[in-house]
Amino acid sequence: MNETLYKQIQRFYDASSGLWEEIWGEHMHHGYYGADGTQKKDHRQAQIDLIEEILRWADVQRAENILDVGCGIGGSSLYLAAKFHARATGITLSPVQAKRARERAQQLGLGNTTNFEVADAQAMSFADNSFDLVWALESGEHMPDKVKFMQECYRVLKPGGKLIVATWCHRPIDNAPLTASEQKHLAKIYQVYRLPYVISLPEYEAIAHQIGLQNIRTADWSKAVAPFWNAVIDSAISWKAIFGLLRSSWSTIVGAVSLGLMSRGYERGLIRFGLLCGNKL
């Protein structure tokens, strides 16, 4: 099942990454619009602000060797490498993304300090205790085994290093299980964006305790990032985006016309944007 899912994810991002970069730029993740989501700002600045706010929240002051799990075309990897004057490695399932990330690294003069590979985040080839910062921004939702994903991130983290996971979640289910309507809504999102399933933030926290992560912190930033999807919808109706979609694959077109699924998911409190960080002792 994993191999089939991985192929679907690969094809989706192989087909859609070029158009995304053309319309939105190098960062393939949410933006940050203030704690209550009311700040008005350029979408690219909002995406950079999300990186900076996550670093501030997780109290990351420095990093020397960074792993970006689910690196896209290198947006976060290259930003973090430049910010901290660090080495950065990015992994993705998409050969198209890895190639583009390497091209961008050369263009930015970061070719000698960065590396981008096609790799499975649940079975990484890196040695134990390799990275002092493991960064997983909006990749956990794609993982078919959330425990194995977290275990691998922990394994390659150096003692004293920090793991940061920011990921799509569904609402906590401690007090009430997901309704049939909510499950149907999530199933549509899974189909469009090639996701196996998502879990709640409390479930991620439980896994973090299970694998031995220390100094665990979590936060729900759903309000802060929710405006992102309406901004994407607005950009998708531009002539440039429409012509780009007409040149793209069917899966990219379906993804574009289904943007409202995420927007409505936030509005009804079903979709959540969860953050988790912790250290390896």
Q: Is residue 242 part of a domain?
A: no
Which domain covers residue 68, as residue numbers? 26-181+196-225+270-279
pLDDT tens digits, one per residue of 189-244: 998 889 999 999 999 999 999 999 999 999 999 999 999 988 877 766 554 544 45
Q: Is residue 139 part of a domain?
A: yes
Which residues neighbour 136 within 8 Å (Cβ) at sequence distance 6 or greater?
A: 68, 69, 70, 121, 149, 153, 163, 164, 165, 166, 167
Q: Is residue 191 part of a domain?
A: no
**Domains in the chain, number:** 1
Q: Is residue 38 part of a domain?
A: yes
Q: Is residue 208 part of a domain?
A: yes
Q: Is residue 99 part of a domain?
A: yes
Structure tokens at 3: 């191999």
Q: What CATH number does residue 215 fall under?
A: 3.40.50.150
Dihedral angle sign, alpha carbons of residues 223, 228, 233, 237: positive
Q: Is residue 21 part of a domain?
A: no
Task: Please report, as a single letter, which amino acid is at residue 248.
Answer: S
Q: Is 248 exposed, middle or buried (0-12, 13-18, 19+ CB in 10 A)?
A: middle
CA separation for the pair 77, 70 (Å, rounded):
10
How are beta strands 131-137 and 271-279 bridged, if at all? unpaired
Task: Give the angle 146-266-27 at the CA atoms, nearest 5°.
Answer: 65
Q: Is residue 41 part of a domain?
A: yes
pLDDT above 90 (res 245) = no
The pLDDT of residue 280: 98
pLDDT tens digits, one per residue of 116-145: 999 999 999 999 999 999 999 999 999 999
pLDDT above 60 (res 248) = no
